Amino acid sequence: MTLAIATDPVRSLVDARPGSFWLDDPAKPAPLPALAGGQHCDLLVIGGGYCGLWTALLAKERDPALDVVLIEAQEVGWAASGRNGGFCEASLTHGLANGIARWPGEYDQLERLGRRNLDEIEETLRRYGIDCDWERTGSINVATREHQVRELREAARLATRFGAEREFLDADQLRAEVNSRTYLAGLRDEHGTALVNPAKLAWGLREACLRVGVRVFERTTATDLIPQGPDIVVKTGYGRIAARRVALATNAFPSLVRRVRPYVIPVYDYVMVTEPLTPEQLASIGWGSRCGLSDAGNLFHYYRLTADNRILWGGYDAIYHYGAKLSAELDQRPATFGTLAANFFRTFPQLEGIRFTHTWGGVIDTCSRFSAFYGTAARGRVAYALGFTGLGVAATRFAAQVMLDRLEGARTERTELKMVRTKPLPFPPEPIRWLGVELTRWSLARADSDGNRNLWLRGMDALGLGFGS
Ligand SMILES: Cc1cc2nc3c(=O)[nH]c(=O)nc-3n(C[C@H](O)[C@H](O)[C@H](O)COP(=O)(O)OP(=O)(O)OC[C@H]3O[C@@H](n4cnc5c(N)ncnc54)[C@H](O)[C@@H]3O)c2cc1C
């Protein structure tokens, strides 16, 4: 069903400032100096997003005597960690369906470890006094098409079977919660999601790292990893650092371990926020629980309220550029913002006339199993974790623990998981890669309209590569 909209979506966008709403904050900390000259440390963490920050912080918590250095190419939190939707989710598997399809034998364990990870994040924020507008609101996945209602019912049934808490809501129950004429049903996860201000989370973790004695250098790009005797020598723009162990937390950027590169492609995801809603506008929607929302399509929107009652609205288009191109100019995509705005007003026509204040994009590290994978190089002295595929706000902390386990050579419940021991299939080289991604996107959009997975998607499902399978 396509509903007409009264507002011209483009008019709602003309005043929007390009750039992340979260990073546009006077509380942004001043940058730290770059690394210069020669340094030595026990553990070097490369990358200052959540994954690197958690790795550095947890390493110091495990052993306060450890000399830990973190280097970041630009500024802590400038990339995905300062641009995301702020859905801090317990799921380590990019959702229930993906997790159950891939690791049915250990899914209940993954669900439990994911919940514990989320609880421990909350506890850490409290312990260090990190203010990141944390709200443990839960989330609802909404169906806007009939076939999605069936899928949510099936997901509710699977959740019960695998010990995961989910509650099916019919249209009346859902609309009593959040008022949109597009809603047909919902699946609530009451405890598995917190909403955060992503940039404040990154800056808070940076401050916590500094407080426990992590040496942080910004504007410092690692260009090479060279095993040398007992150390790994890492070259940077103005210096070099010799480290006993190295953790790579470089997400969608080209990995310093070259053989890992075919496993991840950078995919652009886009987000916008509105001006703050007036009390009347908010009342017209309801949204008393302030829960995070997403729709159940393959190409889905995610949306939520910010602390000052704006609506953040993102997702839907996920764009891969030929040759894995990364560039600051790709952060803006007017065509996508137009589509997002049109879909926004279809969902909430009662907000006619509201304006968007910020539009931005960021890169996600997509892998073919849609959830992170782990590995080591240089005979166990370098660890990496990547492939979070757009669900890494909380999962990066779990990944940090896995990297530290691996670097210590420890066998833990985490390292024994099949999810941790296995890798996804790599992507093929260009031009097959680009063609494959485009064909998949086109097929997924079709599947969203009629609920049928075409031959291509069914083939991908059979290979374990199907999104939503
Ligand atoms: C638009 C958008 C919306 C999203 N929404 C959500 C959401 O709501 N919920 C969710 O769970 N996830 C979401 N994600 C995904 C989530 O943001 C990421 O999974 C998470 O931030 C990854 O953290 P990270 O530390 O691995 O990566 P990043 O934050 O990308 O950090 C990697 C860092 O490594 C640095 N780096 C790279 N190479 C080098 C080098 N050679 N030397 C030095 N430094 C280097 C980079 O400069 C960068 O700062 C979203 C992502 C995007 C882009």
Q: What is the mean pLDDT of residues 155-160?
A: 93
CB 391 near ligand 1, within 6 Å = yes
Rounded to the nearest angstrom, the distance between the alpha carbon of 75 and the centre of ligand 1 is 12
Q: Are 443 and 456 in contact (CB under 8 A)?
A: yes
- Protein residue closest via CA to atom 4 of ligand 1: 84
Confidence of residue 93 (pLDDT cuts 50, 70, 90): very high
Rounded to the nearest angstrom, the distance between the alpha carbon of 85 and the centre of ligand 1 is 12
Q: What is the mean pLDDT of residues 204-212?
A: 98
What radius of gyration do the chain's Cα atoms show? Answer: 22
Count of Cβ atoms closer than 10 Å to residue 297 Cβ: 22
Q: Are 62 and 42 in contact (CB under 8 A)?
A: no
Residue 458 in this model has a pLDDT that exceeds 90: no
CB 371 near ligand 1, within 6 Å = no
What single-letter DSSP state applies at residue 393? T
Rounded to the nearest angstrom, the distance between the alpha carbon of 375 and the centre of ligand 1 is 18
Confidence of residue 467 (pLDDT cuts 50, 70, 90): low
Tokens of 210: 């500094």
Question: pLDDT at position 4, please?
Answer: 66
- Protein residue closest via CA to atom 47 of ligand 1: 73
Residue 164 in this model has a pLDDT that exceeds 50: yes
Question: pLDDT at position 469, please?
Answer: 35
CB 95 near ligand 1, within 6 Å = no
- Cα–Cα distance, 400 to 48 (Å, whole number): 12
CB 48 near ligand 1, within 6 Å = yes
- Protein residue closest via CA to atom 52 of ligand 1: 84
- Cα–Cα distance, 297 to 155 (Å, whole number): 14
Q: What is the mean pLDDT of residues 188-214?
A: 98
Q: What is the mean pLDDT of residues 98-103?
A: 94
CB 175 near ligand 1, within 6 Å = no
Q: At what angle do helices 395-408 and 50-62 cross, to 10 degrees?
A: 50
Confidence of residue 79 (pLDDT cuts 50, 70, 90): very high
Rounded to the nearest angstrom, the distance between the alpha carbon of 40 and the centre of ligand 1 is 26
Rounded to the nearest angstrom, the distance between the alpha carbon of 251 and the centre of ligand 1 is 6
Confidence of residue 72 (pLDDT cuts 50, 70, 90): very high
- Cα–Cα distance, 62 to 46 (Å, whole number): 19
Rounded to the nearest angstrom, the distance between the alpha carbon of 314 and the centre of ligand 1 is 16
Rounded to the nearest angstrom, the distance between the alpha carbon of 248 and the centre of ligand 1 is 12
pLDDT 10s digits, 102-124? 999 999 999 999 999 999 999 99
CB 98 near ligand 1, within 6 Å = no
CB 221 near ligand 1, within 6 Å = yes
Rounded to the nearest angstrom, the distance between the alpha carbon of 77 and the centre of ligand 1 is 8
- Which atom from ligand 1 is nearest to the alpha carbon of 268? 53
27-41, 364-378, 448-462: the lowest-pLDDT one? 448-462
CB 192 near ligand 1, within 6 Å = no
Residue 381 in this model has a pLDDT that exceeds 60: yes
Test site for ligand 1: of 46, 74, 197, 253, most ligand atoms within 8 A of the Cβ: 253
Rounded to the nearest angstrom, the distance between the alpha carbon of 322 and the centre of ligand 1 is 20
pLDDT 10s digits, 289-347? 999 999 998 889 999 999 999 999 999 989 999 999 999 999 999 999 999 999 999 99
CB 444 near ligand 1, within 6 Å = no
Residue 468 in this model has a pLDDT that exceeds 60: no
Rounded to the nearest angstrom, the distance between the alpha carbon of 89 and the centre of ligand 1 is 15
Tokens of 305: 């309220």
- Which atom from ligand 1 is nearest to the alpha carbon of 89? 11
- Which atom from ligand 1 is nearest to the alpha carbon of 252? 30
Tokens of 393: 């706000």
CB 292 near ligand 1, within 6 Å = no
Rounded to the nearest angstrom, the distance between the alpha carbon of 276 and the centre of ligand 1 is 26
CB 74 near ligand 1, within 6 Å = yes
What is the reported pTM? 0.96
Question: pLDDT at position 455, please?
Answer: 85
CA distances from 251 to 79, 248, 362, 390 (A): 9, 8, 12, 11
Rounded to the nearest angstrom, the distance between the alpha carbon of 282 and the centre of ligand 1 is 31
Residue 433 in this model has a pLDDT that exceeds 60: yes
Confidence of residue 447 (pLDDT cuts 50, 70, 90): confident
Rounded to the nearest angstrom, the distance between the alpha carbon of 20 and the centre of ligand 1 is 13
CA distances from 252 to 105, 143, 184, 371, 398 (A): 29, 30, 36, 13, 18
- Cα–Cα distance, 467 to 461 (Å, whole number): 8
- Protein residue closest via CA to atom 15 of ligand 1: 390
- Protein residue closest via CA to atom 12 of ligand 1: 391
**Bond prior to 431 in cis (omega within 30° of 0):** yes
pLDDT 10s digits, 278-287? 999 999 999 9
- pLDDT above 90 covers a percentage of the chain that reads 88
Question: pLDDT at position 163, please?
Answer: 85
